[in-house]
Amino acid sequence: MGEAAVQPELDTFPAAKMAQTNPLPVPMGPWKITVYDQENFQGKRMEFTSACPNIMECSFDNIRSLKVECGAWVGYEHTGFCGQQFTLERGEYPRWDAWSGSNAYHIERLMSFRPICSANHKESKITVYEKDNFIGRQWELSDDYPSLQAMGWANNEVVTGHGWACYQYPGYRGYQYVLEADHHGGDYKHWREWGSHAQTCQIQSIRRIQQ
C-alpha cells in the first residue's frame, strides 16, 4: 500500500457519484436506543434519544441488554464517557458480549452512552498517517479493512476522520476506538487521544460505522 495507491480512487469516486450509485436508504437520525437492566430485553427498561452520561442517575445499576432502533451510538465502560468504547449500530444486543470487544480486560459494564454522527456509509472517508502529528506518508481510505496488515500497514500509524471504528485485532475484534469529526476537531494527533483505554498504538482493522 503506497501513497499513490489510494489517491486515484478519490478522482474516480467523487462523493456525488458515490451517493448516486448507492440508493440504499441511510437514515441520518433522530437517534433512539432502548436499554434494559437484565439480559434478553428483560427487567427495567428505558428509552433514550440523546446522550446519557451516567445510567445510575436513571436508577440503573448496569445495562445488560439493549436495542438500537435509530442511528449509531457509542457505549462506554464508565460514567462520563470514559473507559472502553463499544460501537452500537442498529440491531439487537441481548447480552454484554454482543457489544464487547471480547477482550482479556473483561468487565461487563456499560455505564454511559451517546449518539454519534457518521457519514453516509458509502461516502465515509478517513485519512491515516504514518507517524503522529500527521507526519509521514498519508492515505485516504473509503472502505472497510478487516486486515490492515494485508495492506502493508505498520503499527505506528495514526488516523484522523469521523464515524470510523479501529480495532486492536484483525476482523474487528479486541479494543475498539471510535473516531469522530466532532471530537478533537476530527483530528487525532496521537494514539493516546483515541480514548482513555488506549494502551498501545496497535490497530489491525478499521471500518466505517453505519448510521
Residues that bind a second copy in the complex, under the rule CB under 8 A = 1, 4-6, 8-9, 12-13, 20-27, 68, 87-93, 95, 97-104, 121-122, 143-152, 165, 168-174, 204-205, 207-211
Residue 100 CB, shortest distance to a second copy, in Å, is: 5
Nearer to a second copy, 61 or 143 (CB): 143
Q: Please, what is the minimum distance in Å from the beta carbon of residue 187 to a second copy?
A: 24
> Please, what is the minimum distance in Å from the beta carbon of residue 161 to a second copy?
16
From CA 116, how far away is CA 128, in angstroms rounded? 20
DSSP 186: G
- Nearest distance from residue 48's CB to a second copy, in Å? 17
Give 149 or 199: the residue with its C-beta nearer to a second copy: 149
Cell numbers at residue 209, please? Answer: 460505522
Contacts of 57 (CB under 8 A, 6+ apart): none
Shortest distance in whole angstroms from residue 147 CB to a second copy: 4
Residues 6+ apart with CB under 8 A from 189: 132, 133, 134, 158
> For residues 165, 171, 176 and 180, what is the CA-based torsion angle, rounded to 10 degrees?
0
Nearer to a second copy, 24 or 185 (CB): 24
Q: What share of the chain is helix, strand, coil (3-state, %, to 5)?
A: 20, 35, 45
Which of 101, 195 has the CB closer to a second copy?
A: 101
Closest contact distance (angstroms) between CB of 44 and a second copy is 22
* Helices and strands: H and E segment counts in the chain: 2, 13
Spatial separation of the C-alpha atoms in residues 87 and 73, rounded to whole Å: 6
**Strands in 39-149 per DSSP E:** 42-48, 65-70, 72-78, 82-88, 91-93, 112-116, 126-131, 135-141
* Cβ-based nearer residue to a second copy, 54 or 70: 70
Residue closer to a second copy by CB (options 2, 185) is 2
